[in-house]
Structure 1
């Protein structure tokens, strides 16, 4: 599958398995039921499998859906991207069959699922590395330590210019771009870098659309931003990727890559990503077949969108969890 087609797919411009981006493993939930949107439908009627949530996982689910649709002309898999948190809200209300998530579900979100009568199965489907990027023309920074990232992004940060981070760097204002608070990437980054989920400075440019973050960083020579590795990979001609060091030495930094993400060398910003499936939806044959496909032939889609395949052991755990949920 060529890159130009994939880019079109990810912008939601194809018919059928569309991606709509709004700015805005193996564990199962407790609950009593709850039916998501969609129906088995009469003979000849188009059946829909609805998914919403993460901007990192959305492109995977969309591409898997497009592959699945090619074999099932009577099924559509529309994918909306509103962010992990917003996606879980819709999922708990029974509005979607699948919730795409770039982090694990929170206890508060589990409680909402219980209140809505939604039981679910959690399935790890891929790995991602949150990528820290600067403008392509930036010629003075190649690596940052996690301490420097915290200095830049922590609540109450006094960092205004690059010189505030390193006296050898220019006294130019840093323009910051990052996901909004509805994002699982935001949750994970703030937890691992600032030490508390949701803790961040407020004077940055947030967006739930990672393509807008790419555009922002690409358009400002002294900018810095972060988002999933797949968005860097498909825009590598516009961005410069930074090494991240978990020690106090920038020279110990590691670039995110499929290898460093999978083997854990890219720390602490490597992470597993998930889909959560409504168990009531799994009673519909098309949903059961699609999720089974996702964990088998659908795995071919993962590197196509810049994410990393999980280990065979983790994949088996997800397949086993699905098998149990289908009983």
Structure 2
């Protein structure tokens, strides 16, 4: 099974242009998270093989950018690497946009440095907070300031842009509050830009979804994380992400379906295909599949048009999806 990987992203405009000359019977418009894009595009690519007369377009505006379009009614489905926020919920109600929330995979957030970095063996959550907290801006500028045994060389940071769900989750998990972060770092909603930045910077450190590390292993060095200084250092893997031992940087990822769009035959077919194939395709693109029971509960929510977010007024850090969905 050949999937569209990040290195082929430059082909998207050409593919989209060519598809304009074909007459389609129906279409499904998707936009949002660059992290979830990998899985949704893999699903879309396989779906196109069995439903060539349905046009599936998948954009990468970031989670926040995708929600803006979704809440204006411009897209059928929004990819999101975090749950919908309180302010976005208010917009959805004001605009009369109802939605169905569907978890589609787990992702471990990868902490990476350049392979040329020979001194970082692990990082603690407290050290990550020291790097990324708002109070560190203009004050914490070298690796030695993070750990005294490290060299006195510049600390160059690379991370998600402020419209990214990865940014929201990372800042909440590490700094204790979503969107609370220092601002003097190289930011991008495109994870491929961050991969390129860190891989070519001996003094760089970055974070992004595990799938992007998996696609670029030869260019990056993965760093394990300790919850506390005396805890065991844990790498993000399929096992540690799924069983929750890679904390606090394991997270679920989502698609949101417009409730009106959910009644369309093309969207119904696509979501059914998504739920049936997410387990296999999540592994193919470097993500961790959800337990089968979670996919079953999510598909049931879609079929019964169960709208709203199970995360309203709840933190996503350390969440148990099976328990949460069973309660709702």
| TM value normalised by structure 2 | 0.87
Residue 142 (1) aligns with residue 121 (2): yes
Distance (whole Å) between structure 1 residues aligned to residue 70 and residue 306 of structure 2: 19
Q: For residues 22-37 of structure 1, what are the structure 2 equivalents within 5 Å?
A: none
The match for 1:170 is 151
Residue 80 (1) aligns with residue 79 (2): no
Residue 106 (1) aligns with residue 85 (2): yes
Q: For residues 31-180 of structure 1, what are the structure 2 equivalents within 5 Å?
A: 45-157=24-136, 158-180=139-161
Task: Please report how far the alpha carbon of residue 73 of structure 1 lies from its aligned counterpart in structure 2 after TM superposition.
Answer: 1.2
Unaligned runs of 5+ in 2: 18-22, 308-328
Distance (whole Å) between structure 2 residues aligned to residue 297 and residue 188 of structure 1: 26
3-state SS of paired residue (2:70): helix
Residue 278 (1) aligns with residue 258 (2): yes
Task: Please report how far the alpha carbon of residue 13 of structure 1 lies from its aligned counterpart in structure 2 after TM superposition.
Answer: 3.5
Distance (whole Å) between structure 1 residues aligned to residue 101 and residue 9 of structure 2: 24
Task: Please report how far the alpha carbon of residue 77 of structure 1 lies from its aligned counterpart in structure 2 after TM superposition.
Answer: 1.1
3-state SS of paired residue (1:307): coil
Asked if structure 2 preserves the Cα contact closer than 8 Å seen for 1:129 and 1:269, the reply is: yes
From 190, 193, 197, give the equivalent of 1:212.
193
In proportion to residue count, which structure has more helix? 2
Q: Which shows bigger deviation, 233-242 or 107-116?
A: 107-116
The match for 2:248 is 268
3-state SS of paired residue (2:78): strand
The match for 1:36 is none
Task: Please report how far the alpha carbon of residue 119 of structure 1 lies from its aligned counterpart in structure 2 after TM superposition.
Answer: 0.9
Q: For residues 218-297 of structure 1, what are the structure 2 equivalents within 5 Å?
A: 218-249=199-230, 252-297=232-277
Asked if structure 2 preserves the Cα contact closer than 8 Å seen for 1:52 and 1:79, the reply is: yes
3-state SS of paired residue (2:217): coil
Asked if structure 1 preserves the Cα contact closer than 8 Å seen for 2:33 and 2:66, the reply is: yes
Cα distance per residue 1:237-286 (max 9 Å; x no partner): 0000000110123x621000111111101000000111000011112101
3-state SS of paired residue (2:304): helix
Asked if structure 2 preserves the Cα contact closer than 8 Å seen for 1:17 and 1:62, the reply is: no
Cα distance per residue 1:93-126 (max 9 Å; x no partner): 0000001011111121111111221111000110
Asked if structure 1 preserves the Cα contact closer than 8 Å seen for 2:122 and 2:226, the reply is: yes
- Check 1:198–1:173 CA distance in 2 against 1; reply closer, same or farther (3 A cut): same
Distance (whole Å) between structure 2 residues aligned to residue 162 and residue 326 of structure 1: 49
Task: Please report how far the alpha carbon of residue 58 of structure 1 lies from its aligned counterpart in structure 2 after TM superposition.
Answer: 1.0
Asked if structure 1 preserves the Cα contact closer than 8 Å seen for 2:64 and 2:164, the reply is: yes
From 168, 173, 185, give the equivalent of 1:192.
173
- Check 1:114–1:12 CA distance in 2 against 1; reply closer, same or farther (3 A cut): farther
